[in-house]
Chains A and B, each alone.
Chain A
Amino acid sequence: IDSEDDLLQECISSAMPKKK
């Protein structure tokens, strides 16, 4: 389950805007 949560977090972070 942990790795599934990590994968989800990684996915959310990848789509969030980065510092400009």
Chain B
Amino acid sequence: PTPPYLKWAESLHSLLDDQDGTHLFRTFLKQEDCADLLDFWFACSGFRKLEASGGNEEKKLKLAKAIYRKYILDNNSIVSRQIKAATKSFIRDCVVRVHIEPAMLDQAQTEIQAMLEENTYPVFLKSDLYLEYT
């Protein structure tokens, strides 16, 4: 069977679908001071999961606010710099108007994902960290 680390090189999704792959990629991003990009990507997925599971509205609002404050509010943060102004104001509006919906972070997640796919992921595949692992 194909070893997991070769699958990681197939696509960003195959990497992020594997626990060890995700861990190694996060270690790499941490070295580059941009682990927040990956944390944000997972936070968006977690938010959607929580939304889909129904239940506690207060918790969803609290989480949406937490994500907004930690990653988006500060325009100079690494995540915020990669997200379009229109996308940021859409999320801000959702939080301010307490209009929480499952897809409210989807566009921002897509923009961060595109950035990971075009930049950090290819660099990771050429990094010493990945090469040593393989």
B-binding residues in A (CB < 8 A)? 4-5, 7-8, 10-20
The verdict on A15 contacting B49 (CB below 8 Å), with A8-B66, A8-B67 known, is yes
CB pair A8–B70 under 8 Å, yes or no, is yes
- Chain B contact residues: over half helix, strand or loop, or mixed? helix
> Does B2 sit at the interface, judged by CB under 8 A?
no
CB pair A15–B42 under 8 Å, yes or no, is yes
A-binding residues in B (CB < 8 A)? 16-19, 21-22, 39, 42-47, 49-50, 59, 62-63, 65-67, 69-70
The verdict on A14 contacting B19 (CB below 8 Å), with A5-B66, A8-B63 known, is no
CB pair A16–B67 under 8 Å, yes or no, is no
In the bound complex, residues from chain A placing their C-beta under 8 Å from that of B47 are 11
CB pair A15–B45 under 8 Å, yes or no, is yes
What's the Cα separation between A1 and B42 when bound, in Å? 20
- Residue in A4, A5, A15, A18 whose beta carbon sits within 8 Å of that of B19 in the complex: A18
Complex A-B: 9 CB contacts under 8 Å: A7-B66, A8-B67, A11-B42, A11-B43, A11-B67, A16-B22, A17-B22, A19-B19, A20-B19
CB pair A15–B62 under 8 Å, yes or no, is no
Name the residue on A nearest B19 (C-beta).
A17
In the bound complex, residues from chain B placing their C-beta under 8 Å from that of A13 are 46
